[in-house]
């Protein structure tokens, strides 16, 4: 990959150098000043676009050893360059027309200008370079298989807001907050969670957290060497985990399902932890500030179980009856 990107970056720069060498070699054949302006301006636009491409390939080369290099600014900068190129291309048409001298120089100028347009499309819209054989490109066009260009993807993936160079875990650790003591709350803990019936497939275990051990329901599997993906399910509301949520009491109506029973399947592990402030747990409600730490500790506990595939272990939150996947979630 590095060699391919290097060839692309160097190739564009070599092309620019060759174009200008030829321009100066044949400059004496350009009789009038208008012809000189017409051809040189078209060549400038083409060279400007090719240099943009070369720099972008250099950025991708750097990302091989340093992922995310210049990711914060690259898309924004190239989006501005994309607009600037369009302005220059439009100006190019006017320059060629207004500086008409001979039919031959106008044809040469427009040929260079068209080349610049093709390169702009190749970099900012659709990838046009697949092979040295033009039949390959024609085949892709007919079959409508042209791919979006790399720079176009870079622009689409850029953000208008600032991206910080730290993970959620690092940001959470570095952020200091103060939880107000003595504030009134309507959230009443449920007390210690009940022992699930034997036919429920659930076991009641305790997982370690920074504040102490906390309870969790889990559909444990036999340790027969098989690895299962796992979902850590955080139920909505406040109070903690209780037996009405998990399918061994009366089920919620299908049009307003509130429980986790739908995820209680034989082909993966379902874990339902209680977090700080809930049940009889240590700590206080922190409105998902400290609770995130508990949820991550629960995920780590589950991921280390001998029958769980640690590479397919993630979290599912039910907030306001909307399911949201979060934390270091690997798709199941």
Q: Specify the pLDDT at position 128.
A: 80
Q: Specify the pLDDT at position 159.
A: 62
Contact 45, 92 (CB under 8 A): yes
Q: What span, in angstroms and rounded, lies between the C-alpha atoms of 120 and 107?
A: 20
Q: What is the dihedral of CA 92, 95, 100, 103, to 10 degrees?
A: -10
Residue 74 CA, chain-centre distance (Å), reads 15
Interstrand relation of 308-319 and 269-273 (parallel, antiparallel or unpaired): unpaired
Contact 116, 47 (CB under 8 A): no
Q: Specify the pLDDT at position 258.
A: 55
Please report the DSSP string for 218-259 in residue order: E-----SS--EEEEEEE-SSSS---GGGTTSSPPPPGGG--S
| CA 215, 219, 223, 229 torsion-angle sign | negative
Phi, psi angles (nearest 5°) of residue 229: -70, 160
With CA atoms as reference, report the closest residue to 274 among 286, 259, 291, 257: 291
Mean pLDDT per 10-residue run, the chain (332 residues)? 86 92 83 88 94 92 84 88 95 93 90 94 84 73 83 80 64 71 64 81 91 91 86 79 57 56 80 89 83 90 92 70 44 35
Q: Specify the pLDDT at position 201.
A: 81
Q: Specify the pLDDT at position 307.
A: 92
pTM: 0.51
Q: Specify the pLDDT at position 317.
A: 67
User: How many residues appear in the chain?
Assistant: 332
Residue 253 CA, chain-centre distance (Å), reads 37
* Helix-helix angle 71-98:103-124, to 10 degrees: 160
Domain ranges of the chain: 2-156, 174-326
């Amino acid at each position: 990959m590095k060699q391919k990107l290097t060839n692309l970056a160097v190739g564009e720069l070599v092309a620019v150098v060759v174009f200008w060498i030829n321009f100066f070699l044949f400059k004496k054949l350009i009789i009038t000043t208008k012809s000189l302006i017409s051809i040189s301006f078209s060549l400038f636009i083409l060279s400007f676009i090719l240099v943009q491409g070369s720099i972008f390939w250099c950025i991708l080369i750097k990302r091989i050893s340093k992922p995310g290099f210049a990711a914060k600014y690259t898309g924004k900068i190239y989006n501005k360059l994309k607009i600037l190129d369009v302005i220059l291309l439009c100006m190019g048409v006017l320059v060629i027309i207004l500086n008409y001298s001979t039919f031959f120089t106008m044809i040469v100028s427009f040929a260079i200008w068209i080349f610049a347009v093709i390169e702009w499309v190749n970099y900012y819209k659709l990838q046009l370079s697949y092979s040295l054989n033009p039949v390959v490109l024609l085949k892709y066009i007919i079959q409508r298989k042209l791919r979006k260009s790399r720079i176009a993807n870079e622009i689409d993936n850029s953000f208008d807001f600032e991206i910080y160079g730290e993970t959620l875990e690092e940001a959470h650790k570095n952020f200091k907050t103060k939880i107000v003591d003595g504030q009134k709350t309507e959230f009443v803990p449920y007390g210690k969670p009940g022992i699930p019936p034997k036919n429920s497939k659930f076991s009641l275990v305790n997982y370690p957290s920074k504040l102490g051990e906390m309870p969790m329901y889990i559909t444990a599997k036999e340790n027969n060497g098989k690895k299962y993906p796992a979902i850590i399910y955080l139920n909505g509301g406040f109070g903690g985990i209780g037996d009405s949520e998990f399918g061994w009491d009366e089920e919620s109506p299908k049009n307003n399902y509130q429980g986790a029973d739908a995820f209680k399947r034989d082909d993966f592990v379902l874990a339902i932890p209680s977090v700080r402030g809930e049940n009889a747990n240590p700590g206080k409600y922190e409105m998902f500030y400290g609770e995130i730490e508990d949820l991550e500790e629960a995920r780590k506990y589950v991921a280390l179980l001998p029958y769980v595939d640690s590479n397919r272990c993630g979290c599912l939150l039910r907030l306001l009856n909307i399911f949201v996947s979060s934390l270091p979630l690997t798709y199941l």
